[in-house]
Structure 1
């Protein structure tokens, strides 16, 4: 999917220039959620706009990133709450 590039359903958010903060993350999810079609939307954090996979910084300090906490944060900052599935991938 990354190899096909960004589309109306696929968004890349790289962290090369600066870390992605909670506000940026929620904004990206809201933009994807407000699409008119019923296809799935995908947000790839740690992927630059040109498709380069550089990885994402740990979202919760030294403990890494807790996908359930990220999903809960998105739901609590959107009204009506946006339910999403957050997954973490290790690319070797």
Structure 2
């Protein structure tokens, strides 16, 4: 009888161990978190650094921003986010300050 209990306890311990290992992984980062991480790593969370260091074509950003009424600014923000994956509010500040 004690052998059965020992076997049952060993199986239960193994199942608990496998369950803990499977659930121990971190969840993947969301797109917003990835964008924030990129901005932190590339520019140290500084719009001024982004303005001085980004390889984006500022003339293109200005052209897109100034074309059209409301859609021009949105296109410029989309352009910035395409080439520099930063959060939307950061891209909007960049477009406004270029």
Common fold by TM > 0.5: no
The structure where strand makes up a greater share of residues is 1
Higher-Rg structure is 2
The structure where helix makes up a greater share of residues is 2
TM class by smaller structure: under 0.3
* TM-score normalised by length of structure 2: 0.25
